[in-house]
Amino acid sequence: MQWLFAAFAVVWFALFLYLFSLDVKLNAVAKEIDGLKAKLARGKD
């Protein structure tokens, strides 16, 4: 049984790790876009 749970845990862990890394990257890019947009708006004044 513990083998099964080990494998199971690995799958979930990998999935979470991947989703987490995507989320971090998405947030970073979103932030970058906001910053750039603000800069663009300021530049137009």
Partner 1 sequence: MARDRCGVLLVGLTLVSMIASLYMTFLWAPTERTMGDVQRIFYFHVPSAWVAFFAFLLVFVFSLAYLVRRNKRWDNISAASAEIGVLFCTLVLITGPIWAKPAWGVWWTWDARLTLTLVLWLIYVAYLMLRHYMPDPERRATFSAVLGVVGFIDVPLVYFSIRWWRTQHPQPVMSGGESSGLEPPMLATLLVCLGTFTLLFFALLRIRLRLQRLREEADEIQDRLEQTA
Given the rule CB under 8 A, which residues bind partner 1? Answer: 1, 3-4, 6-8, 10-11, 14-15, 18-19, 22, 25-26, 29-30, 32-33, 36-37, 39-40, 43-44
* C-alpha pair distances (Å), 1 with each of 7, 8, 11: 10, 11, 16
What is the nearest approach in angstroms of partner 1 to the Cβ of residue 22? 5
What is the nearest approach in angstroms of partner 1 to the Cβ of residue 8? 7
Assigned token pair, 7: 């494998």
Q: Which helix (H) or strand (E) holds 41?
A: helix 2-44
Q: What is the DSSP letter of 1?
A: -
What is the nearest approach in angstroms of partner 1 to the Cβ of residue 25? 6
